[in-house]
Structure formats: C-alpha cells, structure tokens
Structure 1
Amino acid sequence: MRLPKFNNLYGRIFAIFWFTMMLVVIAVLSLPHLDPRKSRDMPADAYQRMLEQKEVIEARFSGDKNLARIIKVLENRADEPHEKGPRFFITDQEGNILTTRKHPDFKLKALRNFTTSIESVDKPQQRLYGRYMVAGPAPISLAGQNLLLYIGLRWDQPPPFLLRLFDRPLQLLLAVMLVSTPLLLWLAWALSQPAQRLAQAAQRVARGEFEVDASLEKGTTEFRQAGRSFNQMVEAVNQMISGQQRLLSDISHELRSPLTRLRMANALATRKQGSSPELERIDTEAQRLEQMISELLELSRMQTNSQMSREVQPLSSLWEELLSDAQFEAEQMNKTLTMEEIPNRHISGNPPLLMSALENIVRNAIHYGHDKIAVHFSVSAQQVTVSVEDNGEGVPDSELEEIFRPFYRVSTARDRHSGGTGLGLAITESAIRQHSGKIAASRSELGGLKVTFTLPLQD
C-alpha cells in the first residue's frame, strides 16, 4: 500500500487520522497487559514472597494433623481487627475451596471464580476483583495432604491511567480532545497560512499591484499549485499590460505626427492666404483632437498602471497648494471658492494621481458653477471624505452615475461646445479606484453638482 505524502492537504489529514488511530490501537492492545482485572502471570518476586509465607505456615502447623482446625485458625487470623496482612485460602488439587464458613463471602466468591480460570497449577497467576487481589496457587502440605495455597489481599494501588480513562467515558473524551486539539490546530494553521497569503495577493491585485509573490508557492501541494498558477496569471497580465502600453505609445506617436503636420500646414495656409473662419475651425478642432488624445492616453495609462509608486504624505502637501491656485483662478472669473481646513492626516498613494483627482473635480466645478464653489473635508473610520459642489446647472438625476464614463457628456450643460472632452471625471474615477476609494455624484444643496469621494487613510 502506497501512503500519500504528508506535504499535501490529503496527506496531512491522513497523517492526523493515522496518528490518532495508532494511539487508539496501542491503547486497546495495551489494556490486556495493563488491566489487573484480567488474569495474568504472577510476578516472580511476589511468587517468591508467597512461597516464603507457605513455608512459614507449613512450619507452624507441621505437627497438627487436624486440617479443619488449621483452616479455622487461618480464617480466624484473617478476621482479627488488627490483622491487615494477606488472607490465606486452602483448596484441594481439584480447586475445591476448603473452608469452615457456612455462607461464602465476597472473597470466597472471588476465589472460586479465580480457581476456575487457572489453566495449570504450575503457572501461578493473579487477578483483581474490585479492590481485592487474589493470587496463586502454590503447593502446600498440611495435615499430611498435598493442597494448594492462595493469597488474597486488599489492593490499594491506583489502576493504570489508560484503565481509568476507559472506565470513565467523559475523561476518555477529554483526553482524546486534549491529544487531537494540537494536531487540529496545527492542521488549521497549515491551511490558513497559505490561504491567507493567497488572499493578500488577491487583494494586492485588486488594488492594481500585479507583483509575483514567491511565498505563494509554499505550503501543501494544492496551495503550491494554486500559488504557482496565480503567479503565472500575474505574469501574463503584466505582459498583456506591457503590450497594451507599447501599443498606446505607438498609437500616440502615429496620431500626433499627422496632427502636428496638419497644424503646420494650417499655419502655412493662414500665413499665405490670411485668416479665415474655416482655417480657424481646422486649428481649433486639431487642438481639441490633440487634447482628447492626450487625455485618452493618460486615462489608459492610469487604468493599466499596476506598478504605481506609492508614498505616504500628509493631505495638506498634496492639496493645499492646488486649492490655493484654484481659489485664485476662481477669483479671476468673479467666482468664490470656499474650502474647509485640510485634515492633518496622512495618506498612502501616488501623489500625481491624487492631485489630479481633486484638481479635475475642482476645475470642473469652477467651469460650470455660476459663482459659488465649496470644498468640504471630513475624517471618520480611518477614511477621508472630500466633497466639491457648485451652484451651476447641475446634472439630471438619471445621469449622475453616467458622468464618470469616458467621453460621456450631459446634453444640457456639458456638450461639445463647452470645450470638454468628457474624460476629466473618468480620469478622476480611475485614480480614486486605484487607491481603493469610492466616488459618487449627487445634487448639491447649492443647486448644482456635488461630487464626493472617499479614500482610506494611513495609520
């Protein structure tokens, strides 16, 4: 029979089961040798002491030919209150008990049961009945007859540990639990450690960190195979992302080159023929197309940028200067931007992305708000919540969830004539999501749009 290896899950379960069963089998096989309630060979030293007692009895009654009187003396001696030694029993060669008592007591009943189990008088044995031990026989000569001597004495020694366990099912159950609990805890630890490492690796992938983790390929065979497959998947995703980034770079180069030539040709045409509405429209659309390509490439890089460099920085170093510049720009447009004090907390993330996320929202509010923009901060449960609202036209409730889609424009206010490409909020949503945050839009109390995002803080 080929045993399974212990380095896999089933092997470890089998090992625990096999070890527990071996303990039970060893305990069961040991019981007959440990249980004094079963007949077993009499120890040599005990049998030697019994022979010495026999010689003392033979010497004491060597001249007495009345066997009944000898037996009575031995029985009366055992009944004396001060006598705590062994009690002697005499039987004939056939095992019949010779006694003067009319009503056999427990000791005589135990002796009768013991003599029937003796296979040979040449093999003395002993057996425990409750707290009373019976041993023998030893040949003895009394009153000119060849008889057999048995000894009975009170057994004050405690029974073996295994015997006490098997006599008490509750203690046996507790002992089995005590032995098996460390094994089960070890098995639970062996299963939980690789599973926890795999869960942590999956969380890193969910955050956009596609890194191969060599520790996943440790543990049982099943978890090593799962970890190896997981690392292969991460490598395949990294290769796919690298290929996509190369493709985007090539597309960027191929698209921007004809756009540059188009704008140069338009500039030459304007110099030769003078300015015209058609040429101005060509230049405007070329600029807009170039801006759209730049923002689209930025969005694609953010969505596929799994190896972001993260730093721990205070919130104020990220957003204080940005908001001050936005406040100045709002004043130039005769608009008011009010902001609360930035919380004195730290955040772990990519600084350019975090700055771009808030900047896109604030500039969007400045552009579409009539004259009021408000920025609010709050901290709770190790999270910072930032909300930006304005008093512009706002967004219909049915389209609040759609404005974070790339190229999506609200027909009432954010159309193509407003100058936007529909990628600002999409870039913001991607940045927030890559930092394990959430973003949502709702109607502001000022009458316009309110954008709120939440980010986890660093302890």
Structure 2
Amino acid sequence: MRLPKITSLYGRIFAIFWFTMLLVLLAVLSLPHLDPRKARNIPADHFERLNVLQQKIEKRFRGEKDLRKIIFSLEDQGRSPRDKAPRLFLTDLEGNILTTKRHHDFKIRALQNFITSIEQGEPKQKLYGRYMIAGPLPITLAEHNLLLYIGVKWDQTPPFLLRLFDKPFQLLFAVMVVSTPLLLWLAWALSQPARKLERAAKRVAGGEFVVDPELEKGTSEFRQAGASFNQMVEAVNHMISGQQRLLSDISHELRSPLTRLRMANALATRKQGDSPELERIDTEAQRLEQMIGELLELSRMQADSHLTRELQPISSLWEEILKDAQFEAEQMGKQLSYSAIPEGSISGNPKLLMSAVENIIRNAIHYGEDLIQVTLTKDDEQLSIVVEDNGQGVPDSELEDIFRPFYRVSTARDRNSGGAGLGLAITESAIRQHSGSIAASRSQLGGLMVLIKLPLSS
C-alpha cells in the first residue's frame, strides 16, 4: 500500500510534529517495560539461580535448630561492603523482617518498601538505586516456614531511555538529534520553492517577463503562489505588448496624413511660389515626420523586447560601435578615445542595449567641440559606462530633465539643432528595462558626462 504524498506545507509541519510526538509517546509507553525500578517478574534464568540458592541454604542449615543463629550467619555474609555475594533476608509469612540489627540500614528500608509494594504470590524484583531486591521464595529453616529475599548489587548499565528520563538535558539532546534532521528537511523543502520564487521575482525586476513552470511545483501553498505569479507575468506581458503595439500603430497611422500634408504643401508651393508660411509648414512637417520616425523606431525596438533576452559578451555589444564612432569623429575633426572593454556578459535585448549606448556616444560627438572620452569599467558584478565631451554641456538645473520625452535644453539643444527630444528618453527607457541606471552631470572636460550602470550576469 502506497502512502499518500503530503503536498501541503501545513501538512508537512503537522506530520513532523506528530511524528516527534509519536516517538516521545512510544518512549514513555515502553519505559515501564524497561524500567527496573518498577516491580517486575524475575527472568527465568535468574529465577532458577535463586531457587538453587534457596535449596543450598536449606541444605546448609538442615540440622540447625536455632533460628537466631541462622539469621546471624546469613547477615554476616553481606557485612563487608566489598563482598559481592548476595545479601539474604528472612521474613515470616506476615512480612516481618527477621534481623539481629538494631538500626535499619538502606538495604533494610529498601526491603521494607519492596515487601509493601508487591503482592504476595509470584516472586518479583525491583531496583533501588544500585541495589536489586528479588523475592519472596518460600524456605524452611529451624522448622519455621519463612520467606527468603535476596539483594544484590546491580552492575548493569541502565537502559537508554531510563538514562534519558533521569537526565532531562540528555532527553532534550536526544529529542533534538531526532527532530533536527526532520526540521532541516522541512527547512530545505520550504526554502527551495521560496528561492525559486525569489529568482523569478529578480528576473521580472530585471525585465525578463518569462513564465516559469517550476514555480508551480512543491507544496500546494507554493504551487498556488507560483501559479498566481505566472498569471501576473502573463498579464504584464500582454499589457506591455499591447501598449507597445498601440504606440506603433498610432505612429504608423500618423504617417499617412503627414505624407498628404507634405504633398499638399509641395503642390501649393508649385502653384503659388515660395512663401515664409509654406516654408514654416514644410519645416514643421519635417520635424513631425522625424518625431514619428523616432517613435516608430522606439516601438520597433521595444516590441516584445521584454520577451527577447540573450546573454551577450560586453565586447560583442559595443566594440564595433566604439570603432565606428571613433572613425566618424575623426572625419569630423574630433578625437574619440575609449578604454579597454572589460570581460563579462549581460543578459538583455542586444538591440536596445546597443542603441542606448550608441545614442549617448553620438550625442557626445555631435555636441562636443573636439574631445570625447568613453570609459568602461567593471566593479562588483556591475558595468559602468562613462561618456564625456568638452562641449557646452547642460545647465545643472536641467540635468535631470534631459531624459524626459520631448524635452529640449534651452541652450545647445534648441529647435535649430534638430531632434524631437526622444533620443535620451529612448536610452533611459532601454537602460531601465535592463535594471540599470543612467545619470547626467558636468564633466571635468567642460561638457556633459553621462554615467550608465548595468548589472552583469553571473
């Protein structure tokens, strides 16, 4: 018969609790059968030896008529504390001890307790400290019907359970020894699904919205939590994908009326000739088309980017971008230098990561006067990318605002410089999707410094 598998967390806890209690109960129930301090039947082999001893005593004193002399002779056997011979006691049929001693020692008091604690009939034995008393055996001495009791020093080791119950600290230690493996197993059983859930939460925090079937295994409580977590991940996936597709659809639909607007403006220019108003309409239409193009690029990069994750080496992501940027800067009469690329890997969407860093570098080339520096360093499982230039920079009051969508700096990045103000917003969004951070500050070169931090994969 196969036992049912316990899948509930509380079921496992109760099972361990009741198992421990069962062990303690079995120990308590078995103690009376093992405790020699309880009156018990004399083992057969021991009982035979007592009968042989009883017969020897009767044979020894068969011709003796003086009972007092016999008692004195029997008591004289156990007077020496080093004598391991059994001590013999005689009582009448009513249980009165026959002794020649005036003062009752420990053995006499133990015998009195033994006589009153057992029922007359079948011989018993009982332990007092380290002294075992057995009896009674019927014996006839000096023509008197008497009862014989035998006391011996008990040299056997007390039973294990008896020692435990006599010493509470040993009992506590034994319970801990038995229960510790069970508790460790329980802790392991609890920690495994909890760690799976923790790792899944970290993946979601890192932008990996992937359903993990392993979360729906284990105890029923963790299975329910894992199923709810996977449902949440699926809901977030649908929500993000829906928003990104909506943005892409809107941007795509805006291109049709924009194209018709530019065609109408071109026809008006052909019929009426150039005018400042028509030139302004064409300029604004071009900027609107550029903005829509950037929105389409953003939507294409972000569409299902949370579902597409790859483990890429750092060099494969940005080495070619840095070389191309260095060549482009040289063509513009500027100098771009970059540090050695450290070893390591990043888990994420390669297109988003490459586009984010490339956008920062191209901005530095565009706004820097003649010097651009790119520094890549690795520290504590984190990659830092610093891009600096010696251009005009950004006012300190606007350093936090440049990553807002459609924001333009009032000095260098005005409308005459082009751009819709989405480049840095796209970069900031891509870095944030990979659990990274981006911040701008004033560079020691005089221009802008952008610091990007991204977590590396173990």
Q: Is the TM-score greater than 0.5?
A: yes
In the alignment, is the contact (CA less than 8 A) between 2:396 and 2:441 conserved in 1? yes
**CA shift in 2, pair 1:102/1:123, >3 Å:** same
8 A contact 2:244–2:302 mirrored in 1: no
- Specify the alignment match of 1:76 in structure 2: 76
Shift in Å at residue 128 of structure 1? 0.7
Instruction: Tell me the CA shift for residue 437 of structure 1.
Output: 2.0
Aligned residues of 2:359 and 2:424 also touching (Cα < 8 A): yes
Q: Which amino acid letter does the alignment assign opposite residue 73 of structure 2?
A: V
The worse-fitting range, judged by mean Cα deviation, of 441-450 and 380-389 is: 380-389
SS at match of 1:78: coil
Summarize the alignment of residues 265-280 of structure 1 with structure 2, pairs less than 5 Å apart.
265-271=264-270, 275-280=274-279
The one-letter code of the counterpart of 2:19 is F
Segment of structure 1 superposing worse, 346-355 or 22-31: 346-355
> Match for 2:446: what amino acid?
G
User: Normalising to structure 2: TM-score of the pair?
Assistant: 0.92
C-alpha separation in 1, matches of 2:254 and 2:313 = 37
Q: Aligned partners of 1:229 and 1:30: how far apart in 2?
A: 49
Query: 2:179 & 2:7 partners in 1: Cα distance?
Result: 19
Match of 1:142?
141
Structure 1 match to 2:63 = 63
Structure 1 residue 158, shift from structure 2 partner? 0.5
Q: Is the 8 A contact 1:134 1:151 kept in 2?
A: yes
Cα separation, partners in 2 of 1:238 and 1:80, compared to 1, 3 Å: closer
Q: Would the aligned equivalents of 1:110 and 1:129 in 2 still touch at CA under 8 Å?
A: yes
Shift of 1:7: 2.3
Alpha-carbon shift at residue 172 of structure 1 (Å) = 1.7
CA distance in 1: counterparts of 2:99 and 2:292, whole angstroms:
119
Matching residue of 1:196: 195
CA contact under 8 A between 2:364 and 2:372: conserved in structure 1?
Answer: yes
Contact kept in structure 2, 1:303 and 1:430, CA below 8 Å? no
Q: Is the 8 A contact 1:302 1:430 kept in 2?
A: no
Contact preservation (8 Å) 1:299, 1:426: no
State the alpha-carbon separation in 1 of the partners of residues 312 and 91 from structure 2: 96
- Displacement of 1:91: 0.5
Q: Is the 8 A contact 2:314 2:341 kept in 1?
A: no
Q: CA–CA distance in 2 between the matches of 1:229 and 1:369?
A: 51
- For residues 119 and 457 of structure 2, what CA distance do their matches in structure 1 show? 84
Q: Do the aligned residues in 1 keep the contact of 2:309 with 2:347 (CA within 8 Å)?
A: no
Give the match's secondary structure for 1:211: coil
1:119-138 aligned at under 5 Å gives the runs 119-120=119-120, 122-138=121-137
Give the direction of change, closer, same or farther, for the CA distance of 1:254–1:53 in structure 2 (3 Å limit).
Answer: same
Q: How many residues matched?
A: 454
Question: Are residue 23 (structure 1) and residue 23 (structure 2) matched?
Answer: yes
Between stretches 166-175 and 259-268, larger displacement belongs to 259-268
- Structure 1 contact 441–452 (Cα < 8 Å) conserved: yes
After TM superposition, the score normalised by the length of structure 1 is 0.92
In the superposition, relative to structure 1, how do residues 15 and 126 fare at CA in structure 2: closer, same or farther (>3 Å)? Answer: same
Which runs of no fewer than 5 residues in structure 2 stay unpaired? none
- In 2, Cα distance between the equivalents of 1:241 and 1:148? 98
Task: Name the CA distance, whole Å, in 1 between partners of 2:24 and 2:268.
Answer: 99
Q: Deviations over 1:177-234 (max 9, x none)?
A: 1112111111111111111111111111112211111111112221111111111111
State the alpha-carbon separation in 2 of the partners of residues 208 and 347 from structure 1.
13
Q: Match of 2:53? A: 53
Instruction: Return the alpha-carbon distance in structure 2 between the equivalents of residues 236 and 252 of structure 1.
Output: 24
User: What are the ranges of 5 or more consecutive residues in structure 1 without an aligned counterpart?
Assistant: none
Query: 1:406-442 CA distances to partner (integer Å, 9 max, x unpaired)?
Result: 1122222222232121111111112222223221111
**How far off its partner does 1:97 sit?**
0.9
SS in 2 for 1:307: coil
2:451 is matched by which residue type in structure 1? T
Q: Is the 8 A contact 1:299 1:430 kept in 2?
A: no
Distance 1:11 1:201, change over 3 A: same
Matched, 1:420 2:448: no
CA drift of 1:268 comes to 4.3
Matches within 5 A, 1:249-398: 249-271=248-270, 275-300=274-299, 301-302=301-302, 305-315=305-315, 317-398=316-397
Contact 2:42–2:123, Cα closer than 8 Å, also in 1: yes
State whether residues 207 and 435 of structure 2, in contact with CA within 8 Å, keep that contact through their aligned partners in structure 1.
no
Q: SS state of the match for residue 65, structure 1?
A: coil
Query: SS of the counterpart of 1:133?
Result: strand
The worse-fitting range, judged by mean Cα deviation, of 198-207 and 64-73 is 64-73
Q: CA separation in 1, counterparts of 2:272 and 2:219?
A: 78
- The code of the aligned residue for 2:30 comes to S
| Matched residue, 1:34 | 34
- Name the residue aligned to 2:88: 88
1:156: which partner in 2? 155
Which residue identity does 2:353 align to in structure 1? L
CA drift of 1:105 comes to: 2.4
Partner of 1:455: 454
| Residue matched to 2:238 | 239
* Alignment correspondent of 1:107: 107
Offset of residue 272 of structure 1: 5.1
Whole-Å Cα distance in 2 between the matches of residues 267 and 111 of structure 1?
A: 129
Give the 3 Å change call, closer, same or farther, for CA 427–150 of structure 1 in structure 2: same
CA–CA distance in structure 2, aligned partners of residues 425 and 133 of structure 1: 94
Q: Distance in 2 between matches of 1:21 and 1:214?
A: 37
Sort the Cα spacing of 1:182 and 1:344 in 2 relative to 1 into closer, same or farther, 3 A. Answer: closer
Q: Deviations over 1:219-265 (max 9, x none)?
A: 22211111111111112222223333332332233112222333344
Residues of 1 paired with 2:84 and 2:16: CA distance?
50
In 1, are the aligned partners of 2:329 and 2:336 still within 8 Å (CA)? Answer: yes
How far the C-alpha of 1:307 sits from its partner, in A, is 0.9
Closer, same or farther: CA 82–193 of 1 in aligned 2, 3 Å: closer
CA contact (8 A) 1:5 1:11 kept: no
Letter of the 1:343 counterpart: P
* Amino acid of the structure 2 residue aligned with 1:311: L
8 Å contact 1:437–1:453 — kept in the other structure?
Answer: yes
Shift of 1:114: 0.9
Tell me the distance in 2 between the aligned counterparts of 1:264 and 1:97: 133
In structure 2, how many angstroms separate the alpha carbons of the residues matched to 1:19 and 1:458? Answer: 44
Q: Structure 1 78/309 Cα, relative in aligned 2: closer, same or farther at 3 Å?
A: closer
The more displaced of 301-310 and 164-173 is 301-310
Cα separation, 1, equivalents of 2:234 and 2:377: 39
Q: Which amino acid aligns with 1:84?
A: K
Comparing 338-347 with 203-212, greater Cα deviation is found at 338-347
Asked whether the equivalents of residues 88 and 150 of structure 1 are also in contact (C-alpha less than 8 Å), the reply is yes
CA distance in 2, matches of 1:458, 1:46: 76
Q: Tell me the distance in 2 between the aligned counterparts of 1:453 and 1:18.
A: 56
CA distances 1:379-416 after superposition (whole Å, capped 9, x unpaired): 22233221111222222222212211211222222222
Between the aligned partners of 2:341 and 2:290, the Cα distance in structure 1 is 32
Percentage of matched positions with identical amino acids: 71
